Amino acid sequence: MKTRQNGSVVWVLLLGLFGALPSQAALRTKKVEYKQGDTLLQGYLAYDDARPGKSPGIVIIHEWMGLNEYAEGRARQLAELGYVAFAADIYGKGVRPKDAKEAAELAGRYKSDRRLLRARARAALDILRAHPRVEPRKLVAMGYCFGGTTALELARSGAPLVGTVSFHGNLDTPEPTDANSIRGRVLVLHGGDDPFVPAAQVTAFQQEMREAGVDWEMVTYGGAVHSFTVPTAGNDPKRGAAYNERADRRSFEALKRFLSEIFG
């Protein structure tokens, strides 16, 4: 009898001998309502239901357009890697800017009130930390653009984070000495040609980290501008914000390495 040694035949034989193999992942997602003060917020939770025991938790903070499919997709991406991911809602349930002008106004409102910004981020962290699938001593905050700024502010507030990651976020803060309250490591993934984060801001941030004795790392991607991980940002770097596939891929690999190092 002639046999065919290809992947399909081998797979059928294995199924016949042992039965169907168990699913390696059972991704679960759901919307989660929560509050900060009197403000109703709605985040997005993603985790692998097939993974036993507790897992590290990651808060993902959206860019200036608010919680949308982009941040939710990142949550699913991290859940597939074995983390419990919660995409936070900073603006409030149903509050979403319709265009860049509204987004700038809304983001600016929170950036000018860092106490409120931190409180909104902390509310999301507390929800994640209390989840029964989360190891509460293994928490990370990360964000994109506006969300990167927010993640850094959450770290500066002294939140119980073992790691903080900013993707193309602004690095300024009104109180640089608050960096003394950062508990964990910091990773900044930065576009080398980002016109919205000038060199002076980068220098000031690095000095802030040094003076506070933070374990920090900054990776700069040549040719990348603002929003380099966001496909909807377009492909024209001259506008100051544009998608860069290479920087997107490399920065996500840097994130995975960072998480692997801090979580073991």
Averaged pLDDT score across all residues of the chain? 92
Q: Is residue 6 part of a domain?
A: no
CATH of residue 68's domain is 3.40.50.1820
Q: Select the more confidently predicted residue: 13 or 193.
A: 193
Assigned domain for 9 exists: no
Residue 83 lies in a domain: yes
Residue 12 located in a structural domain: no
Per-residue pLDDT tens over the stretch 14-64: 333 333 333 456 999 999 999 999 999 999 999 999 999 999 999 999 999
Confidence class for position 66, pLDDT limits 50, 70, 90:
very high
pLDDT at 207 over 80: yes
Percent of the chain whose pLDDT exceeds 90: 90
Report the number of distinct structural domains present in the chain.
1
Residue 2 lies in a domain: no
Tell me whether residue 132 is in a domain. Answer: yes
The answer to whether residues 52 and 141 touch, using CB atoms and an 8 Å cutoff, is no
Q: What is the DSSP letter of 189?
A: E
- The answer to whether residue 11 sits within a structural domain is no
Q: What local confidence, expressed as pLDDT, does residue 108 receive?
A: 97
SS3 of 36-99: the string is ECCEEEEEEEEEECCCCCCEEEEEEECCCCCCCHHHHHHHHHHHCCCCEEEECCCCCCCCCCCC
Residue environment code for 51-81, b if the CB has 16+ CB neighbours within 10 A, otherwise e: beeebbbbbbbbbbbbbeebbbebbeebbeb
Q: Which domain holds residue 229?
A: 26-263
pLDDT over threshold 90, residue 186:
yes
Confidence band for 264, pLDDT divided at 50, 70 and 90: confident
Contact 261, 162 (CB under 8 A): no
d(CA 97, CA 109): 13
Q: What is the pTM of this model?
A: 0.90
Query: Does a structural domain hold residue 8?
Result: no
